[in-house]
Chain A
């Protein structure tokens, strides 16, 4: 079993000349199935860049980003969009739900965009909402929900359709401690069920929910705590 997300020797440089910013420098990073990896670091350390690269919203200046073994650079713009519909789920700090759509429609969005029939997409959405515990709010609009409920919808949207890589960017930033913990519990449960998760946060308390915590500073991985899951160790041993 190989890594679901792998960043190999990734460098990302924004701008050029005097305004050049090296957001990431030769970063190696991976996340396996069933594993939740937290990325910590001070502001400007490159955490969010790492996440946008992992989601194919941005391209590395150097190095490769592979999701489920596929190099995102080889996919092109449309291919990466399809990847986000089928393999990668995003959870944002400010939820980023579309206010004009109901909870169920927001969750069904990736499936519908992928061409699923409306009924099929809606059933999948209702199930995902049920899983995050707010099945009864399916027909509410984002405006009519609390922050925690909105974030649950966002998580449901990120996991609907059996997606195996969940990228969460400060998902608890806008929530109180208790609600935030509920969200992390959901993420954790999703990973325990076999998905790979990457959680960007600056709060150690939240990072502690991860199996591994990666510290970034100035675009470089400076520290790592926790261990790879046993299986992956076995596998890499076997590979050697």
Chain B
């Protein structure tokens, strides 16, 4: 899981205690993934158990300072160079919801899609607003690596939301096309009667 590697990567830049780690993580990812302190300490404990970090004593206020071990450095290097695996797509609630909506009778799939799209659009607008009004929009944002990191994370969210909207558009278009073909299929059934009528008219 990425929180583990992310903390390791932060520690690689210098020893820190748990609260510092959390603050640094949030600063860099723009508070988009809120991390509670408890989660930080459990993760640190696991890392220490696996021999990737080690405690180096406490500071004046009694915070335990951690630093990365040699094995930990290897792990970080390996993490950066390994692509993120897509072999197990994360469980996507939206996809599941739509799949069910299509198969379960009586659900207005169009409304589901439209509702979702409006919501995703709103989220996208929020991200964009953050982007243009938040830290990244301030002067000097382009030069500070931390601000850049934050802005890139925001972009990731923007593109993900955009992808979702595009997928929803695509679903909508597919559903409409299917609906249209169904209508076409139905019509030939009615055709014979009409044909007879015109034949008769022609004979007369």
- Name A's B-contacting residues (CB within 8 A): 42, 185, 188, 203-205, 207-211, 213, 215, 222-226
Contacts and interface: CB of A to CB of B under 8 A. Distances in A.
Interface stretch (B5-13, B18-26, B156-164): B156-164
Nearest to A213: B121
B29 interface: no
B114 A223 contact: yes
Contacts of B124: 204-205, 207-208
A47 B162 CA distance: 19
Contacts of A224: 118
Interface in B147-174: 158-159, 161-162, 165-166, 169, 173
A226 B126 CA distance: 10
B169 A208 contact: no
Contacts of B114: 215, 222-223
Given A42-B173, A185-B132, A203-B162, A208 B125 contact: yes
Interface residues of B, number: 19
B117 interface: yes
B174 to A, nearest CB: 12
19 contacts: A42-B169, A203-B162, A204-B162, A205-B128, A205-B158, A205-B159, A208-B121, A208-B127, A208-B162, A213-B121, A213-B125, A215-B114, A223-B114, A223-B118, A224-B118, A225-B118, A225-B122, A225-B125, A226-B121
A225 B159 CA distance: 18
Nearest to B159: A205
Contacts of B122: 225-226
Interface in B18-70: none
A146 B173 CA distance: 36
Shortest Cβ-Cβ A-B pairs, 9 listed: A208-B124, A204-B165, A208-B128, A225-B121, A205-B162, A225-B118, A204-B162, A208-B125, A225-B122
A209 B128 contact: yes
A208 B154 CA distance: 13
A208 B158 contact: yes
A208 B169 CA distance: 15
Contacts of A209: 128, 132
Nearest to B122: A225
Contacts of A225: 117-119, 121-122, 125
B151 to A, nearest CB: 11
Most buried by A among B125, B158, B166: B125
Among A188, A203, A208, A210, find the residue whose CB has the most chain B CB atoms closer than 10 A: A208
Given A204-B124, A209-B128, A211-B125, 6 more contacts: A188-B132, A204-B162, A205-B158, A207-B124, A208-B128, A225-B119
Given A42-B173, A204-B162, A213-B125, A223 B117 contact: yes
Contacts of A223: 114, 117-118
Contacts of B165: 204
A208 B123 CA distance: 9
Given A223-B118, A226-B122, A204 B173 contact: no
A188 B117 CA distance: 23
Nearest to A210: B125
Nearest to B124: A208
Contacts of A222: 114
A207 B122 CA distance: 11
Nearest to A212: B125
A225 B121 CA distance: 7
B166 A204 contact: yes
Nearest to A222: B114
A150 B158 CA distance: 27
A226 B129 CA distance: 12
B170 to A, nearest CB: 10
Contacts of A204: 121, 124, 161-162, 165-166
A205 B124 CA distance: 7
Nearest to B117: A223
